[in-house]
Amino acid sequence: MPILFSFYLSWVLFCSLASPNSVNLPLKAASLGWNSSAVNINKAEKLWRINETFYNFRLSNKQFIGLENQGNKLVAVSATEKFPEAFQITRKNGEPHRVRFRASNGFFFQAKSEMQVTADYKGPSTWEENDPSVFNMTIVSTMHGEYQITNGYGPDKAAKLMRDHWKSYITEEDFKFMSQNGLNAVRIPVGWWIAYDPKPPKPFVGGSLQALDNAFRWAQKYGMKVIVDLHALRVSQNGSPHSGSRDGFQEWSDSDIQETVAIIDFLASRYADHPSLVAIELMNEPKAPDLKLDSLKTYYKAGYDTVRKYSSSAYVILSNRLGGEWSELLSFASNLSRVVIDVHFYNLFWDNFNKMSVQQNIDYIYRQRSSDLRNVTTSDGPLSFVGEWSCEWEAEGASKRDYQRFAEAQLDVYGRATFGWAYWAYKWFPAYPTVMHVNQIRGILPSRMMPGSGSFFRPSIPSTFLASGVLSKTALIRVQAMAQVGGMLMLQPEVGGSHDNFFFDGIEKVKQSEVLEAVIAGDTLVTRMTLVKLQKRFGIAKMEGKAYVGDDLVCEGEFLVATGTD
């Protein structure tokens, strides 16, 4: 059984078992992901990027920093972004964390004391430690959502980036593959801006609606059904990057109900008569306690009524609140027809999971998750749906068979949901392409891994390997190539986390071809690295490497690679 891992990037798909009039329950599903980036100066201030050098500063009380009466005193001037003060950030060459801030009065910030900063520094900077206009900027956290991607790249580059992504990330071949492998539906998360396509509000770019139309067409062709999930709401229902949040604040409230219902109206009117539509999910992962239950019920009733204007057969899915009571929507939903309660189960995002062994994780599924699911499953009320789950976890030293056991436990328990389940995610978007040319790798790897100005793969492995006769010179070059590709794998955030460097720690079980020892002009060396074991907490990985010339395996071995910081 294949184990699929999720990573967010822009357009997402999920799979489920269902059809609008005759549903085969329980559903079985998968998902596809979403991405972006925002920055904090410190824990109290967030940067809103306007362009490459100009930013707004927002405080934890949601007000923006500005100049009092256009003077030099910095104050919190507004709780709206309509007319916030824009500040220009200049960086020291070679030290981008050392910055200066220029205000609209033309002067720079300067620290008068530990408690007072004013915008009245006139002189040029020496960038020395005693310069009061120089600040050290530390990135505390970043966000990765579609807002940050499109805002960061700008309208021209972002439009091409997103178009290329929509064309290549999920294609007709994916629907064919899913259909042939037992998945009969997709759950597709969309953002609120889809209703304004092809000219959505900035910084979003047009094209997401066409991608959704394509998905419906492919689903129909391969006998699959579609759940449309309103995943991202204007001003965010949970503060997460995938919710469309700009800076991590959760701000959706009663005043946003009317617009959000209008988005549901747009989706329902467009797809209600499509034979592949099975359900519309009104909101993904509203978060308690800031999003009040009464407000959520008011919106859910209005959204439900809107779907029913166009379809009596489509299911309406109501997502439980994160941090709310499992059964808090049951009595409300029992008064509605063809309604589903959606819950999301991950053995992640809680410190206690970090301490669990493989078996403890599996036991947790059978004991706790089974109980949680029973709390939202009734014989005569709304259907239950495990709308997201994953085989990712924090268990150290887990083998392939451990992952399979973990998946089997979840399939066993979540298969009891009366509407079914959806796996997050069908596809995982790597930080780098899975196939790269040598020149692409050259631009990414740390310079210390690129020794010499001649041959790209000139060996930097100790010469004792040669002296001992363990490896020939040709095999050594191939080993070096495999090690570098393994390092590329370690630099991906899903594998190596936040580390920006890697170290080649060892190799064993090396085999080399004696027949293809000679290097012939025009030969193309292809290296393939497979991650077989990862201790993510310690940043250590074991990989199997193979190098090919044409169809011939010329070298292979087992590698130990670690992440770290120089």
Question: What pLDDT sits at residue 310?
Answer: 98
Strand blocks (E) in 325-437 = 339-345, 383-389, 420-423
**CB proximity list for 311: less than 8 A, separation 6 or greater:** 20, 268, 272, 273, 277
Please give the span between the terminal C-alpha atoms of the chain, in angstroms, as a whole number. Answer: 39
Indicate the SS3 state at residue 195: helix
Least confident of 51-60, 416-425, 467-476: 467-476
Indicate the SS3 state at residue 411: helix
Q: Report which of residues 491 and 467 the model is more confident about.
A: 491
pLDDT at 148 over 70: yes
Confidence bin at 453 (pLDDT 50/70/90): very low
Quote the distance between the C-alpha of residue 17 and its chain's center: 25
Q: Are 211 and 172 in contact (CB under 8 A)?
A: no
Three-state secondary structure along 475-538? Answer: HHHHHHHHHHHHHHHHCCHHHHCCCCEEEEEEEEEEEECCCCCCCCCCCCEEEEEEEEEEECCC
CA angle 456, 459, 461 (to 5 degrees): 145
Which of these, 374, 372, 352, 349, lies nearest to 361 by C-alpha position? 352
Which of these, 388, 316, 420, lies nearest to 23 by C-alpha position? 420
Question: What pLDDT sits at residue 441?
Answer: 54
> Whose structure tokens read 């068979």?
401
Q: Are 267 and 229 in contact (CB under 8 A)?
A: no
**297 Ramachandran zone, left/alpha/beta (phi>0; psi -120 to 50):** alpha
Confidence bin at 47 (pLDDT 50/70/90): confident
| Residue 308 identity (one-letter amino acid) | R
Question: What pLDDT sits at residue 38?
Answer: 27
pLDDT at 404 over 70: yes
Cis peptide upstream of residue 433 (ω within 30 degrees of 0): no
Q: Are 272 and 314 in contact (CB under 8 A)?
A: yes
Say how far apart CA 133 and CA 150 lie, in whole Å.
31
**CB proximity list for 136: less than 8 A, separation 6 or greater:** 97, 98, 99
Q: Report which of residues 405 and 70 the model is more confident about.
A: 405
> Whose structure tokens read 């899975």?
434
Instruction: Dump pLDDT digits (tens) for 93-105.
Output: 888 888 999 998 8
User: Between 208-221 and 172-180, two packed helices, what is the crossing angle to 10 degrees?
Assistant: 40
Q: Report which of residues 470 and 7 the model is more confident about.
A: 470
Four-residue CA torsion sign, 355, 357, 362, 363:
negative
Instruction: Dump pLDDT digits (tens) for 213-230.
Output: 999 999 999 999 999 999
For all residues of the chain together, what is the average pLDDT?
A: 79
Four-residue CA torsion sign, 256, 258, 259, 265:
positive
Percent with pLDDT over 70 in the chain = 76
What are phi and psi for residue 390, nearest 5 degrees?
-150, 160
What are phi and psi for residue 205, nearest 5 degrees?
-120, 155
Least confident of 131-145, 312-326, 348-362, 365-379: 131-145
